Amino acid sequence: MGKECENFSDIEYFTNRLGKRIKVIREIHGMSKVEFSKKTGISGPYLSQIENENRNIGLKFILLISRAFDLPIELFIYGDDDSLLDHFGVLEQFSAEAEIKELEERIMELKNARLQSDA
C-alpha cells in the first residue's frame, strides 16, 4: 500500500506529504487553522509549521488528527488522495463537478458549431 522509507529524502517526502494531507483535511471540513487546532489539540503555530512543510509531524499528532476526524490511520498515512477524498465523501462531488464542466463545454462547442453552420 505504501512506500517504505529507504533514506532521509524518502522520510522527508513522507512527512511533507502528511503536512499537505493535513491541510487538505482541514480545508475539506472548511475549518480555519484555529478551529482545526481546537478540534485536534494541536497548537496553531505547530499546525502552520507542519502544513508549510517546515516541521515534521509526530505520531502523537497523527493519532490526534485520526481520532478527531474518525480517519483510519492507515488511510491517513498510506492512502492515496482519491481514497482520502472518498472517505470524507467529497470524491463524488469532484466527479460530478467535472462532469458538469464537460457537459457545459460540449454545449458551447455545439452552439458554436450551429452558429458557424447558420452563417
Task: Output the pLDDT for position 97.
Answer: 65
Question: For the whole model, what pTM was predicted?
Answer: 0.66
Task: Please report the pLDDT score of residue 64 as a whole number.
Answer: 93
The rounded average pLDDT for each run of 10 residues, N- to C-terminus, in the chain (119 residues) is 51 81 90 94 93 88 92 86 81 65 82 82
pLDDT for 36 equals 95
- Give the pLDDT score at 78: 82
Residue 87: closest CA among 98, 73, 97, 100:
73
Cα distances from 97 to residues 9, 12, 90, 102, in angstroms, run 36, 34, 11, 9
